[in-house]
Amino acid sequence: MPKLFCVVVGEGSAFSVKIDDADETVDDLKVKIKERKPQSITCDADRLELYRVDGLTQDEDEQFVYKGTTIDMTKCSLDFFGEDKAKLPRLALISERFKEADVNTRWKIHVLVVTPEGAVSAFSAVPTFVGARSQFITGVGTRLPYDNIDTTKPYLKRGKFLGSLIELVQLERIVLLASPAGSGKSSLLTLFYTEVQHEVDIIWIDCRYEPMTRQLQRKGIDLMNQELDQDVGKRFTVVFLDDAQSQYEDKDFWTGLIKYSPRWMSTNIRFVISATHLLAGGFASPVEFVLLKKLTREEFLLSDSEARQLLNFPITGLPDEMKSENVLQFLIGECGGLVGALRMAIDFLQYHFRKELRGIKPKESLVLQLCLSREFNLEMARCFGTGRLDPNMDAYDIKFVKRCFVEDYILAGNLANEEQKSHQWLEMAGILVTSPDNFICFSSPLAKRYIFEKIFPERNHENPTSLDELIEKVIGSMSAHTLSQSTVQGKFPKEAVFQHLFMAGLALHTKPTCAICPELSKRFPGGSNASGGDSIDGEIDFYLDGDLRWGIELLVCGRGIGEHLSRFDANGKYSSLDVKDYVVVDLLQHKTVASYNISKKPKRITVFFDDGDFTVAKCLFKLENDMRTIHLC
336-374 pLDDT per residue, tens = 999 999 999 998 998 887 755 555 678 888 899 889 988
Considering 101, 122, 143, which residue would you say is the last residue of a domain?
Answer: 122
Question: CB neighbours of 391 closer than 8 A, spacing ≥ 6?
Answer: none
**Would you state the pLDDT for residue 335?**
94
Same domain, 446 and 481: no
Same domain, 182 and 325: no
Same domain, 28 and 104: yes
Spatial distance between the Cα atoms of 500 and 238, rounded to a whole number of angstroms: 50
Using DSSP's 3-state secondary structure scheme, residue 532 falls into coil
Q: Could you tell me the CA-to-CA distances from 418 to 388, 406, 432, 435, 443 in Å, in that order? A: 15, 19, 16, 20, 21
Same domain, 412 and 479: no
Same domain, 439 and 502: no
CB-based burial label for 628 (10 Å; 0-12, 13-18, 19+): middle
Same domain, 422 and 489: no
Same domain, 584 and 503: yes
Spatial distance between the Cα atoms of 464 and 460, rounded to a whole number of angstroms: 9
Question: CB neighbours of 570 closer than 8 A, spacing ≥ 6?
Answer: none
| 184 touches 147 (CB < 8 A) | no
**Would you state the pLDDT for residue 227?**
94
Give the angle 131-377-412 at the CA atoms, nearest 5°.
105
Give how many domains the chain has, as a whole number: 5
Same domain, 440 and 499: no
Per-residue exposure over 471-492, b if at least 16 CB sit within 10 Å of its own CB, e if not: bbbbbebbbbebbeebeeeeeb
In a domain, 136, yes or no: no
309-333 pLDDT per residue, tens = 999 998 889 988 888 999 999 999 9
In a domain, 141, yes or no: no
In a domain, 147, yes or no: no
Same domain, 477 and 610: yes
In a domain, 460, yes or no: no
* Phi-psi domain of 138 (left: phi exceeds 0; alpha: psi -120 through 50; beta: other): beta
Q: Is the pTM of this model over 0.85?
A: no
Same domain, 294 and 308: no
**Which residues of the chain fall below pLDDT 50?**
118-146, 279-282, 387-388, 391, 527-538, 592-593, 595
In a domain, 243, yes or no: yes
In a domain, 118, yes or no: yes
Spatial distance between the Cα atoms of 615 and 633, rounded to a whole number of angstroms: 7
Same domain, 88 and 170: no
User: In which domain, by residue range, is 261 found?
Assistant: 159-299
Same domain, 451 and 485: no
Considering 122, 141, 167, which residue would you say is the last residue of a domain?
Answer: 122
What DSSP letter does each residue of 534-559 carry, written as one string? S--TTEEEEEETTTT-EEEEEEES-S
SS3 content of the chain, % helix, strand, coil (to 5): 35, 20, 45
CATH of the domain at 413: 1.10.10
Considering 384, 413, 428, which residue would you say is the last residue of a domain?
Answer: 384
CATH of the domain at 24: 3.10.20.90
In a domain, 511, yes or no: yes
